[in-house]
Amino acid sequence: MILTVAPFVTIVILLVWMGFFMFGSLPLMILKHDTPLDARFIRGLFDVYYKAVLLTAAAGVLANAVAGRIVIAIGMAAVVLIALWSRRGILGRMDRLRAVMTATDAGSIRQFRVLHVWGMVLNVAQLGAVCVGLVKAL
């Protein structure tokens, strides 16, 4: 019983985290990103998202592998790798920009907003891939 429930639960939790981030980060685009508090909050949201996705997808890899659903386990492993790469790249660049960004530095503010948008785009792409993969696997 647990072999059929655990993989399903990890996928549902992963979809919840991805959906929460997608709908939670979109309204934050109204922020100007020009104050340290705005940038710190957005960076913190990305950090929590990546940690949640990494943990949930890693549990999904294990649960699906044990259940014999190798294709889904491989897909979840891809989600883990993309989240690791995104976390390192996006958060690293956000940290570097936050260190030098001022309210009058239009270039840094624009770059931070671009990172915010790219993080959201990667999330939507992953969410779509998980949904399509789930439909194909069933």
**pLDDT value of position 41:** 86
pLDDT, averaged across the chain: 86
Which residues have a Cβ under 8 Å from the Cβ of 13 and sit 6 or more positions away?
Answer: 56
Q: How far is CA 23 from the centre of its chain?
A: 12
- DSSP letters, 9-26, are HHHHHHHHHHHHHHHHHS
Q: Which residue has the higher pLDDT, 35 or 69?
A: 69
Are the CB atoms for 78 and 97 separated by under 8 Å? no
Residue 87's identity, in one-letter code, is: R
Domain extent for 56: 2-137
Quick: pLDDT tens for 102-136: 778 888 888 988 898 898 898 888 888 888 777 76
Cα-based angle 5, 53, 128 (whole degrees, multiple of 5) = 85
Quick: pLDDT tens for 60-101: 999 999 999 888 888 889 999 999 999 999 999 999 988 888
Cα-based angle 70, 2, 16 (whole degrees, multiple of 5) = 75
Quick: pLDDT tens for 7-26: 888 988 999 999 888 888 87
**pLDDT value of position 137:** 62
Number of domains in the chain: 1
pTM: 0.84
**pLDDT value of position 7:** 87
**pLDDT value of position 136:** 66
